[in-house]
Amino acid sequence: MTLPKPRPTKAVINALRSENKRLLSFIQRLESATSPEKLWRALHSGKDRASITLQQGNATSPGYGDAEDIADTREELSDKAGESGLAQSVSQQPIFDTSSYISVDESGDLNSFGPSSAWQTIPSTLSSSQSAATTNAENALVANAALSRQLESRLATLGDLDGVPMDLATHLLELHWNRQHHTFLLTYRPAIIRDLLNGGEFGSKFLLNSIFACASKFSTKPELRETFGNSEEVGFRFFQRCDELIVQENLLLRPSLATIVGLLLLGSTYVARGVTTKGWLLTGYALRMVYDLGLHIDRKTPDDKAIEEEVRKRIFWGAFVCDKLQSLYLGRPFAIKLRDAHVSLEFKDIMEENELWTPYEDSSEHIWKRGRPQYPTYSVSCFQRLCLLSKIMTRIIDEFYVVGATVESAQSSLRSIDDLLQEWEENLPDGLRIDSPSHTSSRVSHAPNVLCLHIIHHALRILLHRPLVADTHLRLASPPETSWKQCSEAAEKITQIVARYRQLYTLRGAPYLVSYGLYVACTIHARNIGVNTNEIMNECRFTLEQSLHWLEELAVPNPAVEKTVLIIKKLMSTRGVTRDLTHENPEIPAEEERQHNEEDRVGDIVSDTLGADAGTGLSMEPYFFDDWNESFSDDLLYGFLEQDSFDDWR
């Protein structure tokens, strides 16, 4: 920019210097703020002064274990949710970097993305009684959740829900609470029950039909199966109703919390059904609404809005996880960046943490089933750990799988990300561990959401190490000798966990991410056949064939899994691996019969291996890397659903 004539006066220069100094000080205050509270103090104290005294100290994220008078469970969850070191390492940048969502207008006032932001409503300072008020709000949320459960029986008096008979509606709601709900915590149960009974946002017809549509794939009720031509659609009426409501109520142009949840549920389900384009687009709308409503900001609300604050946090983190998983499946960019993930991972309603989980049984079928043990759900702590794992997943995708990834960046990131995965596992609370001495018995296990957590963890180990030994642009001249061993050990662990899952619950109600983890493991098992001793080769072959059969079972609720079955079969054919038909069983037995016949046999496979140290069982010795020239182009891990057009394939 050319300086105007005449030259500026000394007074103008001094004024500019003063303004520059003030702005630099303002930036310093923002960068040194390590929590939302400190950030707001920085923004609102000394705003017009040229400089301020920066506070020093070991600040931690707000609410992460700093309340002294809360229940032991909440304290433990708060401590684990913080893990500021792990969270900071994952992000590789100041965790409260505000540059991506702060705007400054002509008057110097701060906003976030204009009128959609609720940030300007946050109180600028914390009251001295806030800690006690927060504890009261937490206790009130738990009490409200408990009372809400007692009110659920009143739903029967409604007669129907958007035309769905109450018995069928209750069946689908119970399936949802039993399965999908615990994976992402998107649906805040007390808010939905409240609004179904009294009217409100979360009683919306769109959200309700989204839940019905997504839960219907887990149901065996014949009335949910509708025939169209030569194909059978499960829950078609609910998907169709959602499409109608999107148009009739103009939902894509009217963002709301309930609409975000409904879109995320539908997007995930469409991807699992193999309708990837529609799933991707619906999820994309939801993720844009997350920003439009300012959910990426850790907004502080009055005590009487505690339910809204809890809902907003859960929806943000549920959206964050869905975003990363879809990026993994489809090989497409994620929408929520790490720099925007500043919402607290401390959830105030912890009622579901210690609830006992048991497989859903339809009371209308009157089928006697043997008693099964119940396991603590650990719903809140498990979801917190999944969120941290999703942050690590983001790093892996960024460093190893997106356009622009280089050998240099991959090599420099390998150790740090590997350490993060190890640190994540080491810091798990005992209830979420599957390798502690108390959990090695075949008689001790976990709820499905906990097993899913470990499946994803081991899949990420393979995602991290496999590119370094593949014949790709990221292959190192001298690949780490431990990389393939890491892949083999992780694949073995996945197979063991899936076997345990199948033994306890069957795969009929498993989420799609179980299929992804098992597919990732199969890509390793297939390559371990034929390069080891006969004994190990036979074990690998049996493991691969079992895993392939399990993928076929998983394709029943999630048709997109058929794509992974085809990929593995093609990989086996390319490598000259024939399938032993004696291990095939296309007829999936009824749950009761399969449980009775196979429980002991499958238990033998996994009873002693879930808690075994790495390096046992099928773990391989390192390959001779000088002779290794393996291509992984036929069995992608990132974007495998887009390997060919799956929409066309279907």
Same domain, 300 and 170: yes
Q: What are phi and psi of 624, to 5 degrees?
A: -80, 95
Whether residue 184 is contained in a domain is answered as yes
Same domain, 40 and 156: no
**Which of residues 350 and 438 earns the better pLDDT score?**
350
- Of 173-182, 511-520, 536-545, the one with minimum mean pLDDT is 536-545
Local structure of 326: helix, strand or coil: helix
The domain boundary, picked from 312, 333, 355, lies at 355
List Cα–Cα distances, 328 to 213, 263, 269, 463, in angstroms: 24, 19, 15, 10
Q: What are phi and psi of 537, to 5 degrees?
A: -60, -40
H/E run at residue 225: strand 225-228
pLDDT for the residue numbered 524: 93
Residue 141, pLDDT > 70, answer yes
Whether residue 385 is contained in a domain is answered as no
> Percent of the chain beyond pLDDT 90?
48
pLDDT for the residue numbered 74: 63
Whether residue 540 is contained in a domain is answered as yes
**Which of residues 40 and 508 earns the better pLDDT score?**
508
Same domain, 445 and 584: yes
Q: What is the pTM of this model?
A: 0.79
Whether residue 421 is contained in a domain is answered as no
Contact predicate 428/83, CB 8 Å = no
The domain boundary, picked from 355, 379, 412, lies at 355
Residue 9, pLDDT > 80, answer no
Whether residue 203 is contained in a domain is answered as yes
> Tens digits of per-residue pLDDT, 445-480?
899 999 999 999 999 999 999 987 766 655 555 556
Give the mean pLDDT of the chain: 77
Helices 481-505 and 534-554 meet at what angle, rounded to 10?
50
Distance CA 543, CA 124 (A): 59
pLDDT for the residue numbered 103: 46
> Tens digits of per-residue pLDDT, 540-561?
889 999 999 999 999 999 999 9
Residues paired with residue 165 on neighbouring β-strands, in sequence order: 160
The domain boundary, picked from 355, 383, 401, lies at 355
Mean pLDDT calculated for residue range 44-72: 39
Residue 227, pLDDT > 70, answer no
Distance CA 271, CA 282 (A): 10
Whether residue 603 is contained in a domain is answered as yes
Whether residue 542 is contained in a domain is answered as yes
pLDDT for the residue numbered 646: 42
Same domain, 222 and 330: yes
**Which of residues 563 and 583 earns the better pLDDT score?**
563
Give every CB contact of residue 486 below 8 A, 6+ residues apart in sequence: 461, 462, 464, 465
Contact predicate 494/518, CB 8 Å = yes
Same domain, 498 and 621: yes
Length of the chain equals: 650
Residue 526, pLDDT > 50, answer yes
Same domain, 35 and 151: no
Whether residue 590 is contained in a domain is answered as yes
426-444 burial string, b = 16+ CB within 10 Å, else e?
eebeebbbbeeeeeeebee
If 0-12 CB within 10 Å is exposed, 13-18 middle and 19+ buried, where does residue 206 land? buried
Same domain, 50 and 147: no
On the CB side of 212, CA atoms within 13 Å amount to 27
Domain of residue 565: give its range.
440-457+486-649
Distance CA 79, CA 62 (A): 11
Residue 603, pLDDT > 70, answer no
- Confidence grade of residue 435 (pLDDT, cut at 50, 70, 90): confident
pLDDT for the residue numbered 30: 60
Local structure of 540: helix, strand or coil: helix
Mean pLDDT calculated for residue range 191-210: 97
> Percent of the chain beyond pLDDT 70?
65
pLDDT for the residue numbered 118: 39
Same domain, 493 and 608: yes
The 8-class DSSP code of residue 335 comes to S
Same domain, 348 and 491: no
> Tens digits of per-residue pLDDT, 113-127?
443 443 433 334 445
pLDDT for the residue numbered 406: 73
- Confidence grade of residue 648 (pLDDT, cut at 50, 70, 90): very low
How many independent structural domains does the chain possess? 3
